[in-house]
Amino acid sequence: MHHGLMTSRSTGDASTDAESTRSVGELLVSFMAGSIFLPFFQGVVSKASEDIYVWLHSALPRKRAAAAEDELVSSGQITVVDPVRRLAFELPADIEGREASAILSLRIPTASDTWLLVRKDYSRRLWVIVPIDGPPAGSVEVGPTTPVREDPAE
């Protein structure tokens, strides 16, 4: 399901596609206020956060973090979702500060009542936001900013 509401930002250039400027609203960084993703992206930008592996282990219970890390190692990327904001991020294992900054600078569609996937378009070398029907298959749900308690049963 693609409504033509794709917005993009190059990792090396601050310009956006002309088409995207007509249908975008607030910056993604504002939309993610209170999300567990915001501190991660800000940490990557400032180099305060070590990497995506450390973040996964702090955001998920131990067994889920280990499974997510296995996926990240085997495929080189992982899709994580925020079900409250209906956001999905397809992130590479080696995400860098410039890429995280480009993601935070994306503008999201104004009146979107659908899920949004933020992913890298490698052929165009930029990050895009694409409307989707729901969380991608195999994605990892990451909850609120409050720390996740370890469940001994997990």
| Domain boundaries of the chain, sorted by first residue | 7-141
Give mean pLDDT, residues 108-136: 88
Give the residue carrying structure tokens 């956001």: 87
Does the pLDDT of residue 65 top 70, yes or no? yes
pLDDT surpassing 50 at residue 142: yes
Residue 17 CB neighbour total at 10 angstroms: 16
Spatial distance between the Cα atoms of 22 and 5, rounded to a whole number of angstroms: 9
- Per-residue model confidence (pLDDT) at position 58: 86
CA–CA separation, 137 and 83 (whole Å): 14
First-to-last alpha carbon distance for the chain, in angstroms, is 35
* 3, pLDDT greater than 50: no
pLDDT greater at residue 55 or residue 23: 55
* Phi and psi, residue 121, nearest 5°: -95, 95
Identify which has the larger pLDDT, 42 or 17.
42
In this predicted structure, the answer to whether residue 31 has a pLDDT above a threshold of 60 is yes
Q: Find all residues with CB under 8 Å of 75, minimum gap 6, and list them.
A: none
Taking residues 123-149, what's their average pLDDT? 80
| pLDDT, position 147 | 40
